[in-house]
Structure 1
Amino acid sequence: MKMSGDLAQTPRSLLVCDQSNFLDEKNRLSSQVEQLHFNYKVSVLLPECDSTPSHLDAVLNSFSSFYLIRELPIYELLNKHFLETAVYQGSVYGVSYRTRIDEDNCVALMPNGHLCLSLDKDSFELLGVEGKPSRFNHRTNCRFVVSVDLTDSSMAPGGRGHQRLLTGLRSRLQMKCDFLLSHHPGGGASLQALLSRYDWSEHRPEISSHTLTDLSCPALLTSGLQSCDPHSFLEWIGAVDARVSCDNSSSSFLSSLVCPEPKTTVSRALSVSVRGLLLPQDVHRLIQQLRCYLEQPRLESWVSLTVHGFVDSPVSWGGNEHGVLRGGENFYSLLMFHDNTYRLHLATGAHDTCPP
């Protein structure tokens, strides 16, 4: 039987591995965490633990709220009051919700004040501003990217650049979409004027947890850490988070995943996840608390944290364009040890540039 081209060819993926120490002044972890702006899920795996420690629970429950604005006209992001009270005063995180990067018009407002529009050809021509063809066009230029720095003097309210984009979004393209929005450090106060004009709702990140028993794990405290294939390790972490068995028993046809060798078994483990529009600042605080957690005497001396970016965000790492054909992955997994060393895996799918 002949396989189709799509099934016969494994899609390309990118994986960067970084090994360092939290105490090393040259470690790049903080900047790497900050560069994945739009996070929708954070998962933590705690071996030999069956309930969330109180200090970790407090951090998870203090993750920033975010807002869902329904049918937001995108030209509102150019509003003078919004720019002055939010964009110029802190870090605004905004991304279109339930739009598909390979089919729909998508928007992202990044914390550095850059506005990114990923548009189909007809919408781009209607907008009438400068842009560039998407990196992920195949044969013809059917998709375009418009990126503007709202903090630049040329985009000051009333200026030529600002007026041109405002007219394009308000009069020609008239683009609307559901929009997720959060602001650090001002929170909702700086967004109230914008929110008051539309149908909106405030949301807290959703926290869930479950306990695992007799979990097979890679022998991370031995030389197995060095010899364990990164792809196999990430498959195992993903399977644990998705509650997919890695036993690969002969009676099961659901999964052929196995725990990487050499392996060991922990009697119990706690898997905790939080979902929403999650800010890098909150992820960073969680990492610091996990470091404190590792300082306590315990049977196991490692924890893992995995952060997933939105599949359909127009950007992935930093301001790099994000694209989806098969998977849309953009995530990182951090493996932390009691001696302050860590191993970081940064991954993207076929349609992204290399992670930082």
Structure 2
Amino acid sequence: MSSHIPLPKERHSKSKLFVTLSALASKKREHAKVIETHPFNYQLTVIAPQNTIDVQKTLPKHVGWHYRIMLKLSDLIDPAFIANYIKRNTLIALSSNGFIDANDVYAIDGHGKLILSLCKDTYETLGLTGRQAKFPFQRNSRFIVEIDLTASCMDPSKKYFQRIRSRLDDVLGEPVEFDIGYYDAKTGSSLVFDLPGACTHQAELVVRKVPGVLVPCISEKFLDVNRQSEDWVEQAQELFEWIGLASNGSQAIVSDATDSSVCAYSVPEPNTTADLELATISGLLSPKSILSVVEELLAEAQASKTDFFACVWGHEDAPVSWGSSEHGFFVSGENMYAQAYIPRRDRSVTFQACCPWDTFS
């Protein structure tokens, strides 16, 4: 069972919002694929009723640390770097000081692809083959160069490699500040990245307890939908909005703080009151570590028949969102997803939100 439905643009401020209903037991693993294909993440929040699933223990168990380091771009194509980090496990890197619509931005996507998102002047001076970006402020003002670091042609004895190294050294030879995560390829657990000058940043965990929260009841009809309808679109929009408010600990969803005369927001009905626990962990989060968190919590939730929610924020200045979908910023830069897990019905609801300048569809 699955429905991947784009909500109408007028229902989500011209940004794009996609909703996927899927069965947790399905071999398609649609809820997991959304997590696995979203490489650049900086924050995860899990929302659950208190004393049901152990979010405070599970998040730091699977999410460790990342590094900040100054590197030249040519360091990223060094044969030893490729052999020791790119090919051996999973490495994700993102330059930390650039804006995707205004500056040169560099990244490694976790699958061995080096992505250079370049301004026109840099691209023309660099002289490497690329393509025009989908979302420049002006025509022909931004370009993308992609280099597969795992390809056989990335051999120091070959002209292809020699040209890339020469151009990077000559044109982009200054050190760049990177956030780098090095992870176990199977589990997503943080591994030691032992290059000189690497500064370790431990993931930060914040736990909040919010009593008396109004939680919308997810109806059987909503979970069984097989086609889009006006009522269903409205319910989906309301659920997504509630998850966003809950993840930020908004008082607008607390029962004793809700006053219809002063608060424009009202929790969708029917709803129930619950004491919630919000656990937020921040850092450079690998997709597999997020999936490990979700899968462990899901096993606990299935045993206790507890619904819970997860919200993941992606880097707004990352060059891609999901997979190879090109990402820009424009005026908002949305690059995030939220998931509702309903184990009593073997269902998950996934919301994928991205700004207008994003090729994901």
TM-score normalised by L of structure 2? 0.85
Which deviations, in whole Å up to 9, do the C-alpha atoms of 1:9-36 show, x marking residues without a partner? x852222211122212133233221110
1:24 corresponds to: 26
Whichever residue aligns with residue 352 of structure 1, its letter is: D
Match among 313, 325, 328 for residue 330 of structure 2: 325
Which deviations, in whole Å up to 9, do the C-alpha atoms of 1:86-126 show, x marking residues without a partner? 11212211111132111111111012111001111111112
Closer/same/farther in 2, CA of residues 251 and 201 from structure 1, 3 Å limit? farther
The alignment partner of 2:283 has SS state of strand
Match among 231, 240, 260 for residue 237 of structure 2: 231
Match among 216, 219, 224 for residue 218 of structure 1: 216
Deviation at 1:149, TM superposition (A): 0.8
- CA distance in 1: counterparts of 2:264 and 2:73, whole angstroms: 45
Which deviations, in whole Å up to 9, do the C-alpha atoms of 1:66-86 show, x marking residues without a partner? 1111x3212110111101111
Q: Retained in 2: the 8 A contact 1:150–1:156? A: no
Deviation at 1:222, TM superposition (A): 5.0
Whichever residue aligns with residue 298 of structure 2, its letter is: R
Whichever residue aligns with residue 157 of structure 2, its letter is: G
Closer/same/farther in 2, CA of residues 217 and 59 from structure 1, 3 Å limit? closer
Q: Retained in 2: the 8 A contact 1:39–1:308? A: yes
2:15 corresponds to: 13
Deviation at 1:251, TM superposition (A): 6.3
Match among 245, 248, 252 for residue 246 of structure 1: 252
The alignment partner of 1:286 has SS state of helix
Which deviations, in whole Å up to 9, do the C-alpha atoms of 1:316-338 show, x marking residues without a partner? 11122110011111111111112
Q: Retained in 1: the 8 A contact 2:68–2:179? A: yes
2:265 corresponds to: 257
Matched, 1:68 2:68: yes
2:201 corresponds to: 203
1:271 corresponds to: 278
- CA distance in 2: counterparts of 1:233 and 1:302, whole angstroms: 13
Deviation at 1:348, TM superposition (A): 0.9
In structure 1, stretches of 5+ residues that fail to align are 1-7
Deviation at 1:256, TM superposition (A): 3.2
The alignment partner of 2:330 has SS state of coil
1:354 corresponds to: 360
1:155 corresponds to: 154
Deviation at 1:174, TM superposition (A): 2.1
TM-score normalised by L of structure 1? 0.86
Structure 1 range deviating more: 223-232 or 268-277: 223-232
- CA distance in 2: counterparts of 1:175 and 1:11, whole angstroms: 40
- CA distance in 2: counterparts of 1:107 and 1:258, whole angstroms: 42
- CA distance in 2: counterparts of 1:42 and 1:324, whole angstroms: 21
- CA distance in 1: counterparts of 2:168 and 2:237, whole angstroms: 43
In structure 2, stretches of 5+ residues that fail to align are 1-9, 226-231
Equivalent pairs counted in the alignment come to 335
- CA distance in 1: counterparts of 2:64 and 2:113, whole angstroms: 21
1:3 corresponds to: none
Deviation at 1:59, TM superposition (A): 4.3
1:311 corresponds to: 316
Deviation at 1:50, TM superposition (A): 5.6
Whichever residue aligns with residue 308 of structure 1, its letter is: W
Percent of matched pairs sharing the same residue: 25
Which deviations, in whole Å up to 9, do the C-alpha atoms of 1:120-157 show, x marking residues without a partner? 11111121101111100244211111111111122223
- CA distance in 2: counterparts of 1:257 and 1:85, whole angstroms: 52
Deviation at 1:170, TM superposition (A): 1.1
Q: Retained in 1: the 8 A contact 2:56–2:207? A: no
The alignment partner of 2:251 has SS state of coil
Deviation at 1:230, TM superposition (A): 2.0
The alignment partner of 1:273 has SS state of strand
Superposed CA RMSD in Å reads 2.5
1:342 corresponds to: 348
1:5 corresponds to: none
Q: Retained in 1: the 8 A contact 2:58–2:297? A: no
